Amino acid sequence: MLELIRFNSRIWFFTGSLACAGLLAMGAYFQFVDGLEPCPLCISQRIAILLTGLCFLTAAIHNPKPVGIKAYAITGAVIALCGGAISARHVWLQHLPPDQVPECGPGLEYMLQNFPLSDTLKLMLSGTGDCAEVNWSMLGLSMPAWTLVAFLMLTSLSLLQIWVSKPINPAGQ
């Protein structure tokens, strides 16, 4: 049974990169087909998903030895946890009482054209009143809550690579 779940790390990393590509495709679907405009925190989460997927894809292509697998696994987990922190902040903003929600800010395109990059990044990561709106939910969870679940799963998948990369010791040897 253990043999079935202990694929080599290359397959797991590639699976993680496909999951990230699927998450990005879902985001594009919601934006371009359903017409849901992403808020600054949504865009930040997409960037974190992209970076996690690129880390996983690089690991799958590189096919490193155990020390490299550990490095990729830790890097992927750190990126996914950063994305999870952004998602957690987004969920927190969505659960604030209406009188405590921050004011809505300018659009990302406007911020990039008129603010210094450091101010734009700060605004993107802190969120605005736009981020507090819940435009979509499934099973009682908003999109940022589902994204948080996805980031936690990606973190787990990444850290499992450390366990998977250890050689299997046949019974009694």
Average confidence (pLDDT) over 141-168: 87
Q: Which residues of 25-41 are buried (b: 16+ CB within 10 A; e: fewer)?
A: eebeebeeeeebebbbb
Residues 6+ apart with CB under 8 A from 141: 149
Rounded mean pLDDT, 7-32: 92
Domains of the chain: 2-164 (1.20.1550.10)
pLDDT of residue 171: 54
* Predicted local confidence at residue 85, as pLDDT: 93
Mean predicted confidence (pLDDT) in 62-69: 90
pTM: 0.79
CA dist., res. 81 & res. 73, Å (int): 12
Q: Do 70 and 96 meet the contact criterion of CB atoms below 8 Å apart?
A: no
Residue predicted with more confidence, 170 or 42? 42
pLDDT at 172: 46
Which whole number is the average pLDDT over 94-122?
A: 72
Q: Enumerate residues 6+ apart whose C-beta is below 8 A from 85.
A: none
Share of the chain residues as helix, strand and coil, in percent rounded to the nearest 5: 75, 0, 25
